[in-house]
Structure 1
Amino acid sequence: MTAPFTSPAMEVLAEWTDYNGHLNMAWYHVLFDRAIEQALQPLGMGAQVAAETGSSYFTVQAQVHYLRELHAGDLVVVDTQLIAHDDKRLHYVQTLRRPADGTVAAVTENLVVHVDLATRRAAPFAPALRERLAAAVAAHAALELPKQVGRRVGLRRGAAEPAAQ
């Protein structure tokens, strides 16, 4: 089991860039999504498993930190680190980076829930899947977490309030 799971290299396409001349934020999500599909498929999660078993996973929370611009032609990889799981949920973090120089462009932290596709409700992981997830989480436990993990979105109250007149 690799720790972390690292995606194959992916190229930032010109049509993914916006009027600012860099990768549009929506496409960061596409790159992260492609990488998580590849990381979780060998563990027994993904499109084929959903079709065969009627169970899948839905993202219930995601936070992205955009750290560096990416441009058309940039090659990137995504490292996926599994942080924790319980009977129905999986918590993971992904780091999008340029493999040529190691520059981290974005970090996303996500929580997914295992779902019975017939009922569209949360459902426990099958015992064998839960064991594979536990092994992967244990294999990733020694990895350092990106400093963005666990951060809140927002401004501290009073941090930028104008002075009273």
Structure 2
Amino acid sequence: MFSYQDYVRTDWVDYNGHMNDSAYANVFSNAVDRFMDFIGLDEDGRTNLSYTIFTLETHLCYLKEAHQDEKLSVSIQLLDIDSKRAHVFFEMKNNNEALLATSEQMLMGMDTQQERPAPFPEQVATEIGKMWDKHKHLEPPKQVGRRICIKK
């Protein structure tokens, strides 16, 4: 199981007395980095494989406030995969398991020597495949696929 742990730092708290929106984005960005480590793309993996992951698109939903020193836990659900992309959904929760925020993202595998998209290296594809086998039958969370608009 993948999980990323963090906490709300003092400098993340804004003039409204809760975690600033940019800090939520930072936590989700750090979760992507830890996810990369989890699937074999840590610093050594990125160097040895000449491969990394870029974030192509992200959609954040802010659901509850997080406050100074509050512990945060981020989990991931794979929504879909192909040979070089992963459509992922992160959930950020607090110690009480309250859902604070979500981040839907499209991640793309990149060959760093050719500077272009490329299929996941075999060992990375294997790790993603193991996770996909556990996630492909899960229902998508209600925040998936949302669009921004003013309902009329």
Normalization by structure 1: what TM-score? 0.84
Could you tell me which runs of 5 or more consecutive residues in structure 2 were left unpaired when the two chains were aligned: none
Looking at structure 1, the residues matched to 138 and 37 of structure 2 have their Cα atoms a distance apart, in angstroms, of 21
CA offsets per residue over residues 72-109 of structure 1, 9 Å max, x none? 1111100111221111101110000102x111110000
Does 1:6 pair with 2:7? no
CA contact (8 A) 2:76 2:88 kept: yes
Partner of 2:15 in structure 1? 19
Identical residues among aligned pairs (%): 28
Residue in structure 2 matched with residue 153 of structure 1 by the alignment: 148
Match of 1:107 among 70, 79, 102: 102
Residue range with higher mean Cα deviation, 116-125 or 101-110: 116-125
The answer as to 2:64 corresponding to 1:53 is no
The alignment covers a number of residue pairs equal to 152
Stretches of structure 1 lacking an aligned partner (at least 5 in a row): 160-165
- Is the CA contact 1:46–1:56 (under 8 Å) kept in the aligned structure 2? no
Superposed CA RMSD in Å reads: 1.6
* Contact 1:43 1:132 (C-alpha < 8 Å) held by counterparts: yes
TM-score by length of 2: 0.91
Report what 1:162 is aligned to: none
Q: Which has the higher Rg, Structure 1 or Structure 2?
A: 1
Secondary structure, counterpart of 2:41 in structure 1:
coil
